Amino acid sequence: MSTVNKSDLILDELKRRRQREVVDVEEEKVKIVIFSLLDDCFAFYGSDIKEILPPQTIYFVPGAPDFIMGVINNRGDVESVININRFLGFPDPEMGPQSRIALAYGAGIRSGILVDSILDVMDVPISLISPPLSTLDEGKREFVTGEMAYGNKNVTVLSVGKIFEKVK
Amino acid sequence: MSAYAVNKSASMEEINLLFFKAGGLRMAVEASQVSEMMDAEGAANSGLPLVRLDEMLPLPEGQTTQGKTFLIGGNKPYGVVVDSIDEIAAVGIDSLRPMPPLAASGSVAIWGVCLRGDDILLLVDFQRLAGPVQAEEKER
């Protein structure tokens, strides 16, 4: 009776594994900037966001549209700041220490967008972003490109391009 | 009447701006647009039509009525009442910026901004305000 050495078994197993054809497919990912507005979570695609700026003075511009909060001085560049709450049916925001201005680009327009806080910037597999909920409020739906989970919260992914198309 | 002339000279690389406050906002107008500055009493005695800036522009805090008045010359001179005058200064044109497109769709009289340190001051063109003022005069 022949005895099988354990080391031989291991070597055989390694040989089998090496022969096994392994195709490593990395799923396409997309960068997402997750932010809060009141108690809700939203996100922009990272490719639409050029900078995230700290809270600062927003200078009122007489006669500007009501969704424009004013303008800021970003290192010598003057940028408009959009009140995104107006598009989502939320009350007007207040600038606080956690507030951030996301400098966004879309539809040929560059503008800041005031958000209550930035929660995360992360790469997520595209497959994790699902189509917008059919139950979504009609007013918001035109700006929404998808939904995703973030911890135990639902995140609504917004399109900067669609928002800017609406305002230009 | 207390009135004094505004220095209108400036090089091509800079612009003389008259900085003032109105309705809680800091603004500036090209000094050459203002032919005189008067106090409230002088403005009242001048017999010129007077307009408050908050009647021409939606200003966040409204205006005091006891401010200074800029006399705007031309065929039909008129006065523009502002809250206070800060200074007159020559400013390099490289510190001026156009209004961003989304914010520019408001009043045509706001033609850009002036950067002073971290601050932003609105540039007002009183000649562009003149249209509505003179139309109002015509109706009277």
B102, B110, B120, B123: best to mutate for the A interface, most A CBs within 10 A? B102
Q: What is the pTM of this model?
A: 0.82
Q: Which residues of B touch A76 (CB under 8 A)?
A: 115
Q: Measure the CA–CA gap between A110 and B32, rounded to whole angstroms.
A: 33
Predicted confidence (pLDDT) per residue in B75-127, tens digit:
788 889 898 899 999 999 999 999 999 998 667 789 999 999 889 999 999 88
Which residues on chain A are in Cβ contact (under 8 Å) with B99? Answer: 61, 71, 78
Quick count: other Cβ atoms within 10 Å of Cβ B73?
13
Task: Residue A36: count other Cβ atoms within 10 Å of its Cβ.
Answer: 17
User: How does DSSP assign A70-100, residue by residue?
Assistant: EEEEETTEEEEEE-THHHHTPPPP---TT-E
- Phi then psi for residue B53, to 5 deg, are -65, -30
Interface A-B, measured as beta-carbon pairs within 8 A, has a size of 71
Burial of B67 (C-beta count, 10 Å sphere; 0-12/13-18/19+): buried
Domains contained in chain A, CATH given: 29-167 (2.40.50.180)
Give domain status of residue B20, yes or no. Answer: yes
A76-127 pLDDT tens trace: 999 999 999 999 989 999 899 999 999 999 999 999 999 999 999 999 999 9
CA distance B102 to A168: 7
Closest CA of chain A from B17, distance in Å: 19
Nearest 5°: the CA angle A78, B15, B94 is 35
Residue of chain A whose Cα is closest to the Cα of B55? A62
Q: Which value does ipTM take for this structure?
A: 0.82
Task: Tell me what percent of chain B is helix, strand and coil, each rounded to the nearest 5.
Answer: 20, 45, 35
Q: Running DSSP on this structure, what letter comes out for residue B99?
A: P
Question: How many distinct structural domains can be found in chain B?
Answer: 1
* Contact criterion met (CB < 8 Å) for B118 and A73: yes
Domain of residue B119: give its range. Answer: 6-139
